């Protein structure tokens, strides 16, 4: 018999696959499945993290749980953009912004800026800065003026979150660092596709790309956090 943690992880995988299939199918029945499966994803992942780390109480653990809560909020709010209006996109953006702030805080709380990898290797920030500036230069001309500042702020915060994950390099176990950093990158790529699909041009099968990267990214961040706590 699988234990509780294995059951929750398998459930996360199952619901993820159901949501991806429903988003790909594009019919009324599948859309209903997608609508009801999406809000289940982050609570399941949060429960898995909660039980995996219940013997390791810390502020890092609390920050990750709060980040997953606001991720759930973002998932849920973005579901209502088409039916309730564009202001729900802004609400979802704020919820995910808080998610990234919480992840960033958790990562820097584990390894501070001045004690971490980035302080000793400041040059590594340059390619991330180039990517950020190039992406903003490409994206923002097509974003309505009222949304340009929120989008730019959001993009800045997620780049900082990725750098905070990179800051773990050589200061926590190699496996924990690699998993968390990859998860942060996938989360960033997922958000980038959302922005391109919304503000530039429609991307074929965007839901599959966005949700696949997002779900794997969230899992890896959480899994890497567990790895670090149990070292």
**Tokens read off for 124:** 């590594």
Report if residue 125 sits inside a domain.
Answer: yes
List Cα–Cα distances, 17 to 21, 38, 139, 188, 201, in angstroms: 6, 11, 30, 21, 26
**Tokens read off for 196:** 């391109």
pLDDT at 1: 54
For the chain, 231 residues long, give each residue's pLDDT as a single digit of tens: 568 889 999 999 999 999 999 888 877 788 888 889 999 999 999 999 999 999 999 999 999 999 999 999 999 999 988 777 778 888 999 999 999 999 999 999 999 988 899 999 999 999 999 999 999 999 999 999 988 999 999 999 999 999 999 999 999 999 999 999 999 999 999 999 999 999 988 888 888 999 999 999 999 999 999 999 998
Burial 109-137 (b: 16+ CB within 10 A, else e): ebbeeeebbbeeeeeeeeeeeeebeebbe
Domain that holds residue 225: 60-229
Q: Closest by alpha carbon to 172, among 105, 103, 107, 104? A: 107
Report if residue 127 sits inside a domain.
Answer: yes
pLDDT at 135: 94
Segment 51-74, tens digit of pLDDT: 999 999 999 999 999 999 999 999
Number of domains in the chain: 1
pLDDT at 85: 72
Report if residue 11 sits inside a domain.
Answer: no
Report if residue 184 sits inside a domain.
Answer: yes
Report if residue 28 sits inside a domain.
Answer: no
User: CB of 82 within 8 A of CB of 31?
Assistant: no
pLDDT at 2: 67
């Amino acid at each position: 018999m699988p234990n509780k943690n294995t059951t929750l992880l398998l459930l996360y995988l199952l619901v993820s696959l159901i949501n991806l299939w429903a988003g790909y199918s594009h019919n009324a029945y599948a859309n209903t499945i997608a609508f009801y499966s999406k809000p289940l994803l982050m609570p399941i992942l949060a429960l898995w993290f909660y039980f995996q780390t219940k013997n390791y109480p810390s502020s890092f653990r609390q920050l990750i749980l709060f980040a997953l809560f606001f991720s759930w909020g973002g998932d849920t709010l973005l579901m209502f953009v088409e039916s309730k209006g564009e202001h729900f996109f802004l609400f979802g953006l704020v919820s995910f912004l808080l998610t990234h702030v919480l992840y960033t805080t958790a990562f820097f709380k584990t390894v501070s800026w001045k004690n971490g990898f980035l302080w000793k290797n400041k040059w590594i920030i340059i390619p991330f800065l180039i990517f950020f500036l190039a992406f903003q230069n490409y994206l923002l001309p097509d974003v309505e003026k009222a949304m340009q500042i929120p989008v730019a702020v959001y993009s800045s915060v997620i780049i900082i979150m990725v750098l905070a994950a990179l800051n773990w390099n050589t200061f926590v176990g190699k496996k924990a660092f690699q998993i968390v950093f990859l998860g942060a990158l996938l989360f960033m790529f997922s958000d980038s596709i959302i922005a391109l699909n919304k503000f530039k041009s429609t991307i074929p099968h965007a839901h599959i790309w966005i949700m696949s990267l997002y779900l794997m990214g969230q899992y890896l961040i959480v899994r890497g956090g567990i790895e670090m706590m149990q070292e």
